[in-house]
Amino acid sequence: MHLFTIIFLGFVSASVLLRLWLGQRQIKHIDAHFGQVPEAFADKISLEDHQKAAAYSCANLRLGRLTLAWETSWLLIWTIGGGINAIDSGWVLAELTPLLTGIAVILTLTFASSILNLPFSLYHTFVIEERFGFNQTSLKTWALDLVKTTILMLALGVPLLAAILWLMNQAGNNWWLYAWALWMSFTLIMIWAYPVFIAPMFNKFSTLQDESLNTRIDRLLQRCGFHSESVYVVDGSRRSSHGNAYFTGFGKNKRIVFYDTLLESLSEDEVEAVLAHELGHFKRHHIKKSLLLSSLMSLCGFALLAWLMRSDWFYSSLGVELASTHTALLLFMLIMPVFAYFVSPLFSALSRKHEFEADEFAHSNSDYKALISALVNLYRDNASTLTPDPIHSMFYDSHPPASIRIENLKNMAASGPG
């Protein structure tokens, strides 16, 4: 057996065990607090809502365990089980050009994986979300979304894939620098195009019509140094009753988007505070920082791929007989997440730091009490647990637990005007 096969299997086992252990901790922690609403929320969240959040979180965690077992089995089947090798040998028989063979092999595996994961996606939407009253999608909308996503993926993904494979084959030793430049340009164009061209294919966006809310929002925007940003409402309620707000795009395509579900459940004060938090992300340069970080990560990724691609053991230890650029790319995309999982807590921690900074900004520029009550409402309406296990939260959570965020906002208020 190859040394790298053993290393790979070691990392796969360790990540599966760690995920199961963290999931089990979370379920236990939530169960232990099932009987009582945490004191800080006792007057705002009913026992019924608290227990709904607990049951919802645990249902998702249990589905997560099944998904993990399924996906890990397939990862092993594709790699050391010889799955990629079989697909590759099949397409070699078709005697296409190397570039077309590469595209065909990668598309075959991508489609196979998507089909294999469909039952889990269906179960999540039509069983779990349905049971807890979140699902608003019909099977028709769901299927239509799938078709649209597939077409979009083919239209945008195939040319990009072809260009990267071509660079890998033809651009010499420094191909990874060119591929990275191409990848970053693609990412920037997508961020720019997403709010205006792509998101509207799935949802309806309209400008906010509420006059008194608009006046307040304008005042807040001016106070924070923003000029004529458009505030949009998206009909998220067509698919799900989960609510959210986000900031998207850049340049002229910069948009602030509120879910209609969020506007329905929050008061004007609360909407203003949530918006102030979103503006905080922008003012503290979180979007730029995340982009910079992801560009550095992808640069390292391409450099690593360039090295692995030239190493015979990389193919043979992962079940591929015939070395090629497309099998290198495919193996790399399949196995990287296993290793990246172990550094994911660093990214979660950075994201939580950004949340605190955005809260601080909201505290300085709006009513922090309204932000607290908005948070409580959002936790309740999204059935997010108020009692996460601290280690599970440290590992995964992009947002700090509700109790810590609220305490932090209160502390800021206590330590004087922001």
Rule CB under 5 A: which residues touch Zn ion?
A: 355, 358
Q: Of the two residues 204 and 353, which places its CB atom closer to Zn ion in the complex?
A: 353
In the bound complex, what is the minimum distance in angstroms from residue 219's beta carbon to Zn ion?
21
In the bound complex, what is the minimum distance in angstroms from residue 281's beta carbon to Zn ion?
6
CA gap 308, 117 in Å, rounded: 28
In the bound complex, what is the minimum distance in angstroms from residue 277's beta carbon to Zn ion?
6
In the bound complex, what is the minimum distance in angstroms from residue 271's beta carbon to Zn ion?
15
Q: Of the two residues 169 and 244, which places its CB atom closer to Zn ion in the complex?
A: 244
What three-state secondary structure class fits 248? strand
In the bound complex, what is the minimum distance in angstroms from residue 33's beta carbon to Zn ion?
25
**Which is nearest to 304 in space by CA: 198, 214, 176, 183?**
176
Task: Name 218's bridge partners.
Answer: none
Q: Can you read off the two tokens belonging to residue 390?
A: 């601290």
In the bound complex, what is the minimum distance in angstroms from residue 358's beta carbon to Zn ion?
5
Q: What is 375-396 written as a DSSP string?
A: HHHHHHHTT--SS--HHHHHHH
Q: Of the two residues 129 and 355, which places its CB atom closer to Zn ion in the complex?
A: 355
**Which is nearest to 106 in space by CA: 160, 152, 68?**
160
Q: Are strands 230-234 and 245-248 parallel, antiparallel or unpaired?
A: unpaired
Q: What is 227-247 written as a DSSP string?
A: -S-EEEEE-GGGTBS---EEE
In the bound complex, what is the minimum distance in angstroms from residue 312's beta carbon to Zn ion?
46
Q: Would residue 152 be called left, alpha or beta, if left means φ above 0 and alpha means ψ between -120 and 50 degrees?
A: alpha
Q: Of the two residues 135 and 366, which places its CB atom closer to Zn ion in the complex?
A: 366
On whether the CB atoms of residues 132 and 382 are closer than 8 A, the answer is no
What three-state secondary structure class fits 171? coil
In the bound complex, what is the minimum distance in angstroms from residue 272's beta carbon to Zn ion?
15
Q: Of the two residues 23 and 400, which places its CB atom closer to Zn ion in the complex?
A: 400
In the bound complex, what is the minimum distance in angstroms from residue 274's beta carbon to Zn ion?
9
Q: Of the two residues 217 and 358, which places its CB atom closer to Zn ion in the complex?
A: 358
On whether the CB atoms of residues 341 and 262 are closer than 8 A, the answer is no
CA-atom Rg of the chain in angstroms: 24
Q: Can you read off the two tokens belonging to residue 190?
A: 């997508």
Q: Of the two residues 195 and 280, which places its CB atom closer to Zn ion in the complex?
A: 280
In the bound complex, what is the minimum distance in angstroms from residue 245's beta carbon to Zn ion?
9
Amino acid making up residue 415: S
Q: Can you read off the two tokens belonging to residue 402?
A: 């509700």
Q: Of the two residues 87 and 358, which places its CB atom closer to Zn ion in the complex?
A: 358
Tokens 């979304």 locate to: 145
CA gap 278, 361 in Å, rounded: 9
On whether the CB atoms of residues 270 and 369 are closer than 8 A, the answer is no
Q: Of the two residues 278 and 389, which places its CB atom closer to Zn ion in the complex?
A: 278
Q: What is 135-158 written as a DSSP string?
A: B---HHHHHHHHHHHHHHHHHHHH
Q: Of the two residues 50 and 286, which places its CB atom closer to Zn ion in the complex?
A: 286
Q: What is 305-326 written as a DSSP string?
A: HHHHHT-HHHHHTTT-SS--HH
CA gap 180, 398 in Å, rounded: 27
In the bound complex, what is the minimum distance in angstroms from residue 351's beta carbon to Zn ion?
9
Q: Of the two residues 262 and 358, which places its CB atom closer to Zn ion in the complex?
A: 358
